[in-house]
Amino acid sequence: MVEKLTDWKYIALIIFLVIIGIAIPFLWNDELSQISSSGPFKENKVNILVVGYDSDINGASRADTIILISLDVETNEAGLIFLPRDTYINSNKRSFTKLNSSHVYGGIKLTQETVKEMLNIDIDYYLETDFRGFEKIIDRLGGVEINVSRHLNYVDKAGGLYIDIPAGQQTLNGEEALEYVRFRDARGDIGRIERQQKFIDAVLAKVLSPAIITKVPGIMKEVNEAVNTNIPIQDITPFLNTAKEINLSQIESKMLPGKAEYINGISYWVPDMQEAEIMVDNLIRNKSYIKNKEYNLKVLNGVGESGAASDTAGLLEKYGFNISTIGNADKYDYDSSVVKYYSEDDAETAAKVAELLGGKTEFIEEAEEESNKKLEVIVGAGYEKSV
């Protein structure tokens, strides 16, 4: 089944990267060369709220997808948090209870204020567009090459929606690309998100390729017509290297943690604010989540209590770490947790893990080529601090 409203996950990011990574550098090169790169970005991190909204033919436009993007202009890393449109807003400051309704009551500015309040995060800029703008920009790109894993077929006569995309290597035009990311099968959002991730990878690869240069004027024309943003030209400079140099593997995306619930007969996505705080702190306020996913951790139980190692491993996963092993330590009388690291380059990360667990670090010298990005965590007494 396909949703009636456009599913905008990942789509607005494409347009955003087109603006800052391709069009701006070539069309305003002379102006940009005279602008200081320091600008307003003293901390080298910039947060942008990207909103895709549905048509206002049948009333005011609702925010169909809301994405919080954070760019680190020094390390060329990007973190994204997708905020479900049905996210429950529990605030006496608002006259609505769904995040997407913020766009109805106050447009992009109220949506921005609502997200800032909910996540306690600064948002520097916003950008919004609708699905017609997406289609036109994809057409200007010359379509997107993607290997469709299976035949996508869906018909909704009442809604005027006909999806028929064959399996195999395809070049999707704007309309077909929108159908591809909208399609929803028996796997629901899981299957759709996988397709969207595959799609965004294909689009980013094309947008950031040298071959796109000749298409810049046409792309910029569509962007100017389709996108509403408050990013001023004088503030664009810090984005340029980030957009052109960004590594696709350094774009880390997560969905706002929570669960689906019915409240007074209405379906909501109720966020887990404790989990959300960890995610925002590590993916948006700083980029440690992205760096942490490069690490492989062995987590060992050093107190002998059931769940000590697995609970701690679960916590560390929330901070982005990969857990390679969960097991028992050589003894069960560790009076505090110990984080062992094997390369001097990992000392800072080891110290942060130790601080989180209320423990200490221990350096063990090994062959550096075999030890980098590897930590051993022994859970000692007081580990409940980490649960």
Rounded CA separation 104/111 (Å): 9
Which residues, in sequence order, are CB contacts of 285 under 8 Å at separation 6+? 45, 121
- pLDDT at residue 42, as a whole number: 44
pLDDT in the model for residue 29: 36
The pLDDT value given to residue 84:
84
Q: What angle do CA 316, 317, 318 make, to 5 degrees?
A: 90
User: What does the pLDDT profile of the chain (387 residues) look like in tens digits?
Assistant: 333 223 333 344 444 444 433 333 333 333 333 333 444 334 557 788 888 776 654 556 777 778 888 877 667 777 888 888 889 998 888 889 999 899 989 999 999 999 999 999 888 888 887 777 778 888 888 888 999 988 988 776 655 667 889 999 999 998 898 788 777 676 655 566 567 667 877 876 777 677 777 777 777 777 777 778 777 654 554 454 455 555 555 677 788 899 989 999 998 999 999 999 988 888 887 767 778 888 999 999 999 999 999 999 988 988 888 999 999 999 999 999 999 999 999 999 999 999 989 999 999 987 555 668 899 999 999 876 555
SS3 281: helix
Strands 45-53 and 125-130 turn out to be parallel
Query: Burial of 273 by CB count in 10 Å (0-12 exposed, 13-18 middle, 19+ buried)?
Result: middle
The amino acid sitting at 150 is R
**pLDDT for the residue numbered 305:** 93
Phi, psi dihedral angles at 255 (to 5 degrees): -100, 145
E-assigned strands of the chain? 45-53, 63-72, 77-83, 125-130, 144-148, 152-156, 161-165, 168-172, 228-229, 251-255, 258-263, 266-271, 296-301, 322-328, 338-341, 360-363, 374-379
Report d(CA 110, CA 102) in Å as an integer: 6
